[in-house]
Amino acid sequence: MTTNSAFRTKEINDRCGGSPRSKHLEGLAMDIRTMEMTNDEKVEFVRLCASYGALAFGFYNRFIHFDIHSKRNWGSIPRRYVPVLKQFKLSPYIRG
Ligand SMILES: [Zn+2]
């Protein structure tokens, strides 16, 4: 498993186009590269993250963002993740 991004300084966050309110700036977020993972492995990864307290997920083509800041959602959520998110009462079912 490869971590694309974890804690970011403001300079690094600006350089990679991160949101000014990115949770990476607080060290509360990670982006994990998913290009080599099967869909089943990605779903299991999200289930494990949620079971250890991840509260928000962002699904991108090449990576999954997760963080422990608060329950939020943004962007589109691939259907395969919905049962796991529902199981842990995470977005889009409960808005923080
Ligand atoms: Zn991220």
CA of 69 to the centre of ligand 1 (A): 12
How many independent structural domains does the chain possess? 1
Whether residue 36 lies inside any domain: the answer is yes
Find the distance separating the first CA and the last CA of the chain, reported in whole Å: 29
How many angstroms is it from 1 CA to the middle of ligand 1?
A: 15
Ramachandran quadrant class, 77 (left: phi over 0; alpha: psi -120 to 50; beta: rest)? beta
Number of Cβ within a 10 Å radius of residue 22: 20
Domain that holds residue 42: 2-87
Residue 48 domain flag: yes
Is 39 inside any structural domain? Answer: yes
pLDDT digits (tens, 9 = 90+) for 3-38: 999 999 999 999 999 999 999 999 999 999 999 999
Residue 7 belongs to some domain of the structure: yes
The CATH number given to whatever domain includes residue 83 is 3.30.1380.10
| Ligand 1 centroid to residue 83 C-alpha, Å | 22
In the structure, ligand 1 is a single-atom ion and the residues with CB under 5 Å from it are 29, 31, 65
What pLDDT score does 93 carry?
52
Q: Write the pLDDT tens digit of every residue in 29-84.
A: 999 999 999 999 999 999 999 999 999 999 999 999 999 999 987 778 899 999 99
Q: Would you give the DSSP letter of residue 44? A: H
- Residue 93 in domain: no
Residue 92 included in any domain: no
